[in-house]
Amino acid sequence: MISLQPIPPLDTVPAPPLRFADRTHRMVPSETRALFSMAARENVVSLAGGMPSPEALPAEELRAVLQEVLAAEGPQALQYGSAQGDPVLREQICDVMAAEGIEASPDEVLVTVGSQQALDLVTRVFVNPGDSVVTEGPTYVTALSTFAAHQARVVEVAMDQGGVVPQALADAFALLAAEGRPAKFFYTVPTFQNPTGRVLGTDRRREVLDICRRAGVLVVEDNPYGLLHFGERPHRALCADAPEGVIHLGSFSKTLAPGLRVGWARAPRAVTDKLVLATESAMLSHSGLAQRAVSRFLGTRSWHGHLATARSLYRDRRDAMLDELAAVMPDGVSWTIPAGGFFVWLTLPAGLDARMMMPHAIEGGVAYVPGTGFHTRGGERHLRLSYSYPSAGQVREGVRRLSDVIRAEWAHGDASRLQEAVGR
């Protein structure tokens, strides 16, 4: 037996001080994450998370697919691979993108650990501390965390029902250029946006591309929901009409399974080359097993059938949410009507605050995400509801509970307003 020599005790020497990098100061838990523990309580219907439905995750098929991968190409699947990603999968990703009008070649594609990593890598290769990134307001909460972690300055541009407001976008670019700090990129989720469910209209797509091109600003198009459309056809991606000016991020998280952690970036070659280098330093290479599982699923199972099933499941839940909202919400509450994706964005009457209302909602048995999480500032009157995870029955129950909470909050506000008026 080997005897290990004890080293003299170190307990008289203090542990080293933790000299964290400046960038960690802006790494704070997201509002959504902090809410998950509350939302997970028994008896709470959570309309907060944006997770796929368990019924839409093809566990049985993936079990068989993984077995086939290990039997047919085990050593390759378990080996290190290229940082850019499996070449066969990159070709299949080009076929997946073709459904939204994108004509890409596999050498422009980088496989990533979900589109979240793609966003982190893109930010890493473009953003120096203090650089400006323009986003829609509201925008995807974890994109804000990524930009904060890279010490970017985030400039929000207003949206309306038709997506980002073109004139506001042009004004933001002009202002930043005049300050001598032109935007590094415009981050957008143009199709079934998280958190609003909105779609950037067809004419606006052209207008936005035109504004970005004239301002010399790259577009980062984040598109995890594009193929989950409830109408007949998908929308044409921004990247389809301006491949040189758009970095397109995609993901199998919402369409197949987030646990596989397979997403991608499609970018002009010069950008992809940098992203590959950034991947090497971050993680050497991606999971060969996960990539081959996705690749075999796409190659041997019915991708289109799987998508059709997922769309119909989410459409039913969207319908349940919209029907119930229309039936029970009091006057003064409004909401978006998503034509795909996972989310509805609800606006409360003036005077109510979704964040302040949250503890009462949890008491009332329903959870949502307050709008403030999706903005750098503001958003108090809004909240995000998701219909993707709970069953249609739970969705309806959650909306009924939310309506009760809003009515109680409103009545309480009325009482305090009356008290204030009488006291004056």
Residue 255 makes contact with ligand PMP by CB under 6 A: no
Q: Which stretch in 113-121, 168-176, 381-389, 408-416 sits in contact with ligand PMP by CB under 6 A? A: 113-121
* Residue of 114, 138, 373, 379 that binds ligand PMP (CB under 6 A): 114
252 vs 303, beta carbon nearer ligand PMP? 252
Residue with the CB atom nearest ligand PMP in the bound state? 114
- Shortest Cβ 19–ligand PMP spacing (Å): 30
Contact between 340 and ligand PMP by CB under 6 A: the answer reads no
CB of 81 to ligand PMP, least distance (A): 19
| Segment lying near ligand PMP (by CB under 6 A), choices 36-44, 110-118, 376-384, 385-393 | 110-118
If one asks whether residue 145 binds ligand PMP (CB under 6 A), the answer comes out as no
| Residue 138 binds ligand PMP, judged by CB under 6 A | no
Cβ(372)–Cβ(354) below 8 Å: yes
Q: What mask, x for binding ligand PMP by CB under 6 A, covers residues 394 to 413?
A: --------------------
Per CB under 6 A, which of residues 9..28 are in contact with ligand PMP? none
Number of residues that bind ligand PMP (CB under 6 A): 13
Contact indicator for 368, 292 with CB cutoff of 8 Å: no
Q: Which stretch binds ligand PMP (CB under 6 A): 112-120, 129-137, 156-164, 408-416?
A: 112-120
Interatomic CA distance for residues 134 and 377, integer angstroms:
14
The correct pick among 84, 116, 279, 388 for binding ligand PMP (CB under 6 A) is 116
Using the rule CB under 6 A, which residue among 140, 335, 374, 410 binds ligand PMP? 140
C-beta of 51 vs 64, nearer to ligand PMP: 51
The correct pick among 263, 338, 340, 370 for binding ligand PMP (CB under 6 A) is 263
**Which of 224, 243, 245, 364 touches ligand PMP by CB under 6 A?**
224
Q: How far is the CB of 43 from ligand PMP (least distance, A)?
A: 25
> Of residues 47, 48, 50, 127, which one binds ligand PMP by CB under 6 A?
50
Task: Round to whole Å and give the CA distance between 287 and 69.
Answer: 13
Minimum distance from residue 208 beta carbon to ligand PMP (Å): 17
**Per-residue string for binding with ligand PMP, 278-317, x by CB under 6 A?**
----------------------------------------
Structure tokens given for 251: 């993901």
Token readout for 12 is: 């008289």
Q: Which stretch binds ligand PMP (CB under 6 A): 111-119, 168-176, 321-329, 383-391?
A: 111-119
If binding is defined by CB under 6 A, does position 135 make contact with ligand PMP?
no
Shortest Cβ distance from residue 391 to ligand PMP (Å)? 20
Region of residue 130 (phi > 0: left; psi between -120 and 50: alpha; otherwise: beta): left
With binding defined as CB under 6 A, does residue 338 bind ligand PMP? no
Query: Is residue 251 within the footprint of ligand PMP (CB under 6 A)?
Result: yes
How far is CA 209 from each of CA 109, 133, 190, 205, rounded to the nearest angstrom? 21, 16, 12, 6
Residue 116: CB minimum distance to ligand PMP, A: 3
Three-state SS sequence of the chain: CCCCCCCCCCCCCCCCCCCCCHHHHHCCCCHHHHHHHHHCCCCCEECCCCCCCHHHCCHHHHHHHHHHHHHHHHHHHCCCCCCCCCHHHHHHHHHHHHCCCCCCCHHHEEEECHHHHHHHHHHHHHCCCCCEEEEEECCCHHHHHHHHHCCCEEEEEEEECCEECHHHHHHHHHHHHHCCCCCCEEEECCCCCCCCCCCCCHHHHHHHHHHHHHHCCEEEEECCCCCCECCCCCCCCHHHHCCCCEEEEEECCCCCCHHHCCEEEECCHHHHHHHHHHHHHHHCCCCHHHHHHHHHHHHHCCHHHHHHHHHHHHHHHHHHHHHHHHHHCCCCCEECCCCECCEEEEECCCCCCHHHHHHHHHHCCEECEEHHHHCCCCCCCEEEEECCCCCHHHHHHHHHHHHHHHHHHHHHHHHHHHHHHHHC
Task: Report the nearest approach of ligand PMP to the CB of residue 263 (Å).
Answer: 4
Q: How far apart are CA 312 and CA 305, in angstroms?
A: 11
Show the site string, 162-201: x = touches ligand PMP by CB under 6 A, - = not. ---------------------------x----x-------
Contact set with ligand PMP (CB under 6 A): 50, 114-116, 140, 189, 194, 222, 224, 251, 253, 258, 263
